[in-house]
Amino acid sequence: MGLDLAALGRQVRQMSHTAAADAADTATRAAAMRERMLAAAGEEEHWGQAVALSRETAAWLLAHPVEPLGTVIDLPPPPPAYTIVATDGSQIELDRHGAIACYVINIGQVFLRYGQQPTARLTSQPLLCYREEDLYLHDGVRRIPIEGNYLSARRDVDEGVALAALAAEHLDGSLPAVALQDGTLVRWTLAGAERVVQDHFMGPYLDYLEQMRVRGIAVASYISRPRSPELVGTIRLMLCPDVDVAAGRGARCERCSDERAGRTPSCQPCQGLVDSDLFGARLSEGQRGPLLLSMSRINIERYGPHQIHFFYLRVGRELCRIELPQWVAQRPEQVNLVHSLVYDQCARGGGYPVALERAHEQAIVRSADRRAFQRLLESSLYRAEAPGGVSAKRESKEFSRG
């Protein structure tokens, strides 16, 4: 039997009513938390200390204010000519039911130059990964498979390395330039990984950022519809009864004094809110909010001089998150350049950076591509008389489709 759309329709209608009610509640709580944030403007040093005290004990993410919390910056005018390089990646994941253990990473690469001499270059670079060092990490005892989050981490590194190479080839310093990536610069997929895994992937990724720092190229990333609650986490500290900066005490969630007293925790209004809820009604078209430092463990402990900062930017109906390494965030002219060029790219791309859109088009691996790759793989293995064959489970599924 197929999908029972009548039964599903009733659930969809119920979900829609729930979503409407939740949206109204979210808007009310977000307005109250925005007022609390603005009331703390001028107290950034105090709350920065509270964040530092609570980083290890709070049960939520935190952000350290770098600029006043009430900051709203209008859109700087874009330069008459500029260049931008961008990369994006896609993959064909390892199929343990397939004929042979391998995966493919495809990196889309884009160079765009605007002004009196406009030009563009769009390419993709596929890489077939099948060697032992592609499939496993080794710690001297174990073989750790590179799959799932670790494969995503491998692709993130490849995107960064490709971006550095693209910048070295095309950015000569004659025009303002930005190197742009899609998604976060914080390698969240490695946050809970063991040290050997972090070392393996973070090393080349930080090398890429260092290359860009030495060359003075502004690196940034664009996150559409961000769901991060890091600034909300800082506001939770403002409501927390256990925080006492003078006494050197941060949030102690496992011993919340409100809960011990039988009260609803003071931070309850923040539950479920994200940073974009705070800025949605505050930023007008093209404006950005304050610079903030992500206090995530992996960022603070592993990124060194490349610690990731971020701000929120209004682009049409969307509030996007722009991330920057520390050495970009510390130079106001580069922050303004990123602000200006990213918005200009969004205006040219109908709300999403055109360079990233083109990079995605180059990188994407469609269903037809996957099938063609599978046929190529199986044919090549057959001609080489190499051992291989799909699992019984794969054969069963292919038979049922036929």
How many Å apart are CA 270 and CA 272, to the nearest integer? 6
Output phi, psi for 166, to 5 deg.
-65, -40
Does 250 lie in the same domain as 353? no
Does 164 lie in the same domain as 101? yes
Task: Please give the residue range of the domain that contains residue 90.
Answer: 82-228+274-365
Find tokens 């769901």 and name the residue. Answer: 227
Structural domains of the chain, count: 3
Mean pLDDT (the chain) is 92
Does 234 lie in the same domain as 224? no
Tally of helices (H runs) and strands (E runs) in the chain: 14, 11
pLDDT > 60? residue 397: no
Does 248 lie in the same domain as 217? no
The tens digit of pLDDT for each residue in 325-383 reads 999 999 999 999 999 999 999 999 999 999 999 999 999 999 999 999 999 998 898 88
Does 292 lie in the same domain as 266? no
The tens digit of pLDDT for each residue in 145-189 reads 999 999 999 999 999 999 999 999 999 999 999 999 999 999 999
- List beta partners, residue 292: 65, 310
Which of 30-44, 210-224, 259-273 is the least confident region?
Answer: 259-273
Does 311 lie in the same domain as 193? yes
Does 127 lie in the same domain as 217? yes
Query: Which domain-ending residue is among 212, 238, 270?
Result: 270
Output phi, psi for 307, to 5 deg.
-50, 135
Structural domain includes residue 3: no
Does 215 lie in the same domain as 129? yes
Does 216 lie in the same domain as 349? yes
Q: Decide: 206 and 303 in contact? Cβ < 8 Å.
A: yes
Burial of 266 (0-12, 13-18, 19+ CB in 10 A): middle
**pTM, to two decimals:** 0.92
Does 64 lie in the same domain as 101? no
Does 219 lie in the same domain as 116? yes
pLDDT value at position 204?
Answer: 96
Confidence of residue 52 (pLDDT cuts 50, 70, 90): very high
pLDDT value at position 15?
Answer: 93
Does 315 lie in the same domain as 202? yes
Structural domain includes residue 2: no
pLDDT value at position 27?
Answer: 92
